[in-house]
Structure 1
Amino acid sequence: MIKLAKRISLFSALGALLFMIIQVLAELYLPTLTSNIINDGVAKGDIDYIWHTGFIMIGYSLISIVAAIGNTYFATRESQKLGKTLRSEIYRKVEKASLHQFDQFGTASLITRTTNDVNQVQLVMQMFLRMMINAPITLIGASILAYRKDAELTKIFLIVIPIITIFIGGLMYFAVPLFKSMQKKTDRLNLVFREILTGVRVIRAFGKDDFEKKRFDEANLDYTQTAIKVNTIVAFMIPFMTLVMSGTNIAITWFGGHLIADRTLEVGNLIAFMTYAMQILISFMMLSMIFVLVPRAQASAERINEVLDLPADMLDPTSPQTIESKGKAASLVFKQVDYRYQGAEKLALEAIDFTAEANQTVAIIGGTGSGKTTLINLIPRMYDIEKGEILVNGRDIRQVTQHDLRQVIGFVPQKAVLFSGTIRENMQYGYPQASDAEIWRALEIAQAKDFVEQLPDGLDHHVEQGGGNFSGGQKQRLSIARALVKPADIYVFDDSFSALDFKTDAKLRQALKAQMHDKIKVIVAQRVSTVMDADLILVLDEGKIVGKGTHEELLAENVTYQEIVHSQLREEDLA
């Protein structure tokens, strides 16, 4: 919490403190004025004194109101700014995190940390700048003034305060672990709910509505039971404090009445003492509320810091080299590259070695889990290699900034992802200055022009979240077009033709070869028909290149490639 609180402006914190001190001092003086009215005005029948002191009380009340508004303004502004800052920092941290760091937390947990956890910290910070400052000042001030009114009556607090302290300590003992547990259960609830939303088509296709409903109900019930339990524990505080206040008032009235009867205490002083006693107990109540909420906020702060303290494991070089688009001189070189996933014993890729130049198509094929996607994710430096070199246009990708590297690469991921907005906005995602002519050219190459032209609004047609209003093949073609709009030397297609029919697949590859002739195309595919006309085919098996060459060369010499081909094509298709 302290680490996060350092982001608060010192000026605003001092402003909140100043206004709170003024408010508390004004409120503490009011019972004394009430005592004076009773002792010197009412008891003596001095109407002028009553009016005079009454106007002074109104003045102090107005000062208290203005100071409370000032304190609330600074406290609210700074707590909201802190929330905004934390959300921005978490977002930027996640955005720059490596893929394995992102997977370390999971989407649901990151959403919870950005929303619910930040809200908890924000709430406690606002309470801190208001109640946490108010309570101790009021407690100390009211105790001193109560003692000045009558020292004997203050002995009541020697019994009351230890009782309150023990009770609050017991509440915290039981409530704090439950508050921490609630944050984890919020993660679980978000995870289940998000899976149901994103997988709704699969759930309905398999008729698992009841199963998923039960799974959600279990997560929801688990969270609810914990919330009920912790709020039930905390709920005991109000009636307990009411009981203590009532008991304290009775004790003060009882003993105070005897002191008045003995003429050692004036009535006004007793009234003032009772008011100060209430201020003392309310201060304890405010502190107890904060002490109950702080542990939950502390748990949230720890979860936020886990994200903010993530080490940057993919750093740009301190003195980066420049990398430029080289057009017909573009090149991609893998030199004995090894890669291992974090924490894994076995290499995911081993001794990967090949060279590609402009106007060449490199195809990567292999069985499931052979390392195809991992290999192409190394090109834009989604992961850092363990050994070897990857050169793009003659530059080691670790010696240039990630931004500059990705400027010369057009990437189409395995899963077609479209963003809500219009088709034009999606096409300009990687190249904002793209003209309509450039967009239509990319759509034509990607075989998406025909269906986009038929849409009522053309390029201004609305795209729903995730591209939900397009078919799988349409989303894939739009994703390909988005990459082609961006001027680049290397275009990477990660199994991006899987949702296309054979005819569209063939047309797309033909268009790529004809119109993107000065580019390097790297294609990952499962279908042999997609890779047959590639200039270089890499056959992967368990992270190693077991075959390298053209279709004809591999078909004649490579057993693994032969097995793949014969599993998909008939003999007459190969003739």
Structure 2
Amino acid sequence: MLKIAKGRISYWAVLGAILFMVVQVISNLNLPSLTSDIVNNGVAKGNLGYIWKVGFEMVGFSLLSIVAAICNVFLASRTSQKLGQNLRSDIYKKVINFSNDEFDQIETSSLITRTTNDVVQIQNVAIIMLRMMLMAPIMLVGASFLAYSKDHQLTMVFLVVVPVMLIFIGLLLYFAVPLFQAMQTKTDKINRVFREGLTGVRVIRAFRQDQREQDRFEDANVDYTNNAIKVNTIMALAFPVMTLIMSGTNVAIIWFGSGLIGNQAMEVGNLIAFMTYAMQILMSFMMLSMVFIFIPRAQASAKRIQEVFNQESTIKEENNPTTLPEATKHELKFDHVDYRYRGAEMLALDDIDFQATSGQTVAIIGGTGSGKSTLVNLIPRFYDIESGEISLDGTNIDKLDLKALRDAVALVPQTATLFTGTLRENLLYGNDKATDEDLWHALDIAKATDFVKEDPAGLDLHVEQGGGNFSGGQRQRLAIARALVKRASVYVFDDSFSALDFKTDAELRAALKQDSHIQQSITVIVAQRIATVADADVILVLDNGKLVGKGTHEELKDSCEVYKEIIKSQLREGALPNE
């Protein structure tokens, strides 16, 4: 836990919290001694002046303790909140730069839990450490020394009380700590099931699996609840048992102390002070037990967060990366490229070899799982290849500055993702310098102008989370428009026309070909329909990750068996171009 706190907290704030805590504890330790003096030298002797004098000293120490406690709490709270803020920020920065390989290693639900619940656990322990963990040992040592100075005979009571308390605390830790550690995993499970239920609600309803999903969530919820009940039951026992031990300690001190007072071996004021110090000693043990219970849970959270920080990105940048040169003509080249998913035995892509230049459209077609999306994900370096070379404008993309490479590529993924805000904000995502004219031009090419203009808000139309207030086809067209606003060298449409009808598909592709900027760029289209790829300059046919055909529609329909099979499977009216 100290490892992830390093560099994320203010050491001056920690030092200040320690200083104020020391002042608070010293002030509190002085109060029982002053009470003893009032009783012994003021009350017993009827010295009113002495009572007033010591009373003012007690008020002074009390005020000093209050001020020190306020300052300590402020610094401890500020430090813990800053630690949480920095952790969340660093986790987000790390995750946002993950390659797709890293996202495959840690579930999204777990990442959310680590960024929220796990960080909160560390925040809580940070403030506990700056409060209880500092206070407990100082108070324990100070109170023990002062109690011994009041009467060393009565300290024999602690020979019985302390072992009993240590055994109880040990049992508490033994049973509670594993349950606290299990809470994080069970929280992950609840988040995962809940998130799947929300994102897949339409599928759940379509298959009438509402009850099944409710049962899944109920199982996860009951599991978490039962674990929480167990740990809270154990923790609920702590306070009554501690109260019992403290009460028993008081009885023992009064019992033996009264005998000492009767024999005139001890003064009444000293007995009162001793009882207060005894309570401070036992409270110190109680605070330490709380710390030892919460630290393992925070340690488990810290370990989970550290796993995120320790994830080594497979995407490595050169120490001095190359920037893309200014060019009016562009070239994209795959030179015998192989790619394998992490941990997989089989190659996902095997010996992919092709090139495209400005103004050309490269279409990629093949069966489900043939590697189409994998191939286009290699262009912006979402994954790194195993062998071969991918180059853009004559430069190996491995040597390019990653930001410059991704600035040069506009990608429309399979799933159209829109962000909460306005339509304008979404369209400006890739090019914040675009004018309204640029935005309307992109919407016109994407065939999205009509439904945007229908709304009085126009470009300021509100977009709900995930674009939930648009249909699938509308979301797809808006995602295409967003990519077109970006002035890129390579435009990649990863099965982006699947939600469009044939007429809109054809009109959109025709508009793309007529756009002056697109004519100077390279267009890569992944599609399932022959009609979508038929007019491409080069069609790549993939089968099980291998390039089994390359050429135009006219060439492939006679020479490529896989392409012929796709044509046969789509022999229905409107599915194919005119032969």
Q: TM-score range by the shorter chain?
A: over 0.9
Show the 5 A alignment for 1:125-136.
125-136=126-137
Deviation at 1:570, TM superposition (A): 5.0
Amino acid at match of 1:361: T
Amino acid at match of 1:294: I
Could you say which residue in structure 2 is the equivalent of 1:355? 355
The change in CA–CA distance for 1:570 and 1:471 in structure 2 (over 3 A counts) is: closer
Q: Secondary structure at the match of 1:385?
A: coil
CA RMSD of aligned residues (A): 1.0
Deviation at 1:574, TM superposition (A): 4.6
1:35–1:272 Cα contact (<8 Å) kept:
yes
Q: Secondary structure at the match of 1:363?
A: strand
Could you say which residue in structure 1 is the equivalent of 2:68? 67
Could you say which residue in structure 2 is the equivalent of 1:534? 536
2:99–2:383 Cα contact (<8 Å) kept:
yes
Could you say which residue in structure 2 is the equivalent of 1:336? 336
1:189–1:216 Cα contact (<8 Å) kept:
yes
Q: Secondary structure at the match of 2:84?
A: helix
CA–CA distance in 1 between the matches of 2:325 and 2:489? 9
Question: Structure 1 residue 413 and structure 2 residue 444: aligned?
Answer: no
The change in CA–CA distance for 1:115 and 1:573 in structure 2 (over 3 A counts) is: closer
Question: Structure 1 residue 280 and structure 2 residue 278: aligned?
Answer: no
Could you say which residue in structure 1 is the equivalent of 2:37? 36
| Deviates further, 212-221 or 200-209 | 200-209
Q: How many residues are treated as equivalent by the alignment? A: 574
Deviation at 1:325, TM superposition (A): 4.8
Show the 5 A alignment for 1:78-477.
78-327=79-328, 329-477=329-477
Deviation at 1:519, TM superposition (A): 1.5
Output one character per residue of 1:78-129: Cα deviation in whole Å (capped at 9) or x when no partner. Answer: 0000000110111011011111211211110000000000000000010100
Q: Secondary structure at the match of 2:78?
A: helix
Amino acid at match of 1:31: P
Q: Secondary structure at the match of 1:217?
A: helix
Unpaired runs of 5+ residues, structure 1, are none
CA–CA distance in 2 between the matches of 1:400 and 1:424? 31
Amino acid at match of 1:562: K
Output one character per residue of 1:346-402: Cα deviation in whole Å (capped at 9) or x when no partner. Answer: 100011000100110000000000000000000000000000000111110000111
Amino acid at match of 1:526: Q
Amino acid at match of 2:557: L
Show the 5 A alignment for 1:517-528.
517-528=519-530
Could you say which residue in structure 1 is the equivalent of 2:482? 482
CA–CA distance in 2 between the matches of 1:330 and 1:193? 46
Deviation at 1:547, TM superposition (A): 0.3
Deviation at 1:17, TM superposition (A): 0.6
1:557 to 551, 556, 559: 559
Deviation at 1:8, TM superposition (A): 2.2
CA–CA distance in 2 between the matches of 1:488 and 1:90? 30
2:534–2:577 Cα contact (<8 Å) kept:
no
CA–CA distance in 1 between the matches of 2:567 and 2:232? 64
2:101–2:314 Cα contact (<8 Å) kept:
no
1:34–1:272 Cα contact (<8 Å) kept:
yes
CA–CA distance in 1 between the matches of 2:149 and 2:169? 28
CA–CA distance in 2 between the matches of 1:517 and 1:244? 84
Output one character per residue of 1:34-53: Cα deviation in whole Å (capped at 9) or x when no partner. Answer: 00000000000011111111
Unpaired runs of 5+ residues, structure 2, are none
Deviation at 1:322, TM superposition (A): 1.6
Q: Secondary structure at the match of 1:223?
A: helix
Q: Secondary structure at the match of 1:488?
A: coil
Could you say which residue in structure 1 is the equivalent of 2:510? 510
Deviation at 1:4, TM superposition (A): 2.1
Deviation at 1:445, TM superposition (A): 0.6
Output one character per residue of 1:189-225: Cα deviation in whole Å (capped at 9) or x when no partner. Answer: 0000011111112212222211111111110000000
Deviation at 1:463, TM superposition (A): 0.4
- Identity fraction in percent: 62
Amino acid at match of 1:202: V
Question: Structure 1 residue 569 and structure 2 residue 556: aligned?
Answer: no
CA–CA distance in 2 between the matches of 1:449 and 1:442? 9
CA–CA distance in 2 between the matches of 1:519 and 1:142? 78
CA–CA distance in 2 between the matches of 1:100 and 1:391? 21
2:531–2:577 Cα contact (<8 Å) kept:
no
1:326–1:489 Cα contact (<8 Å) kept:
no
Deviation at 1:148, TM superposition (A): 0.2
Amino acid at match of 1:498: S
CA–CA distance in 2 between the matches of 1:394 and 1:276? 79
Could you say which residue in structure 2 is the equivalent of 1:499? 499
1:93–1:307 Cα contact (<8 Å) kept:
yes
CA–CA distance in 2 between the matches of 1:561 and 1:204? 36
Deviation at 1:133, TM superposition (A): 0.4
1:8–1:78 Cα contact (<8 Å) kept:
yes
Deviation at 1:2, TM superposition (A): 1.6
Give 4+ residue runs of structure 1 displaced > 4 Å after superposition: 570-574
CA–CA distance in 2 between the matches of 1:499 and 1:40? 91
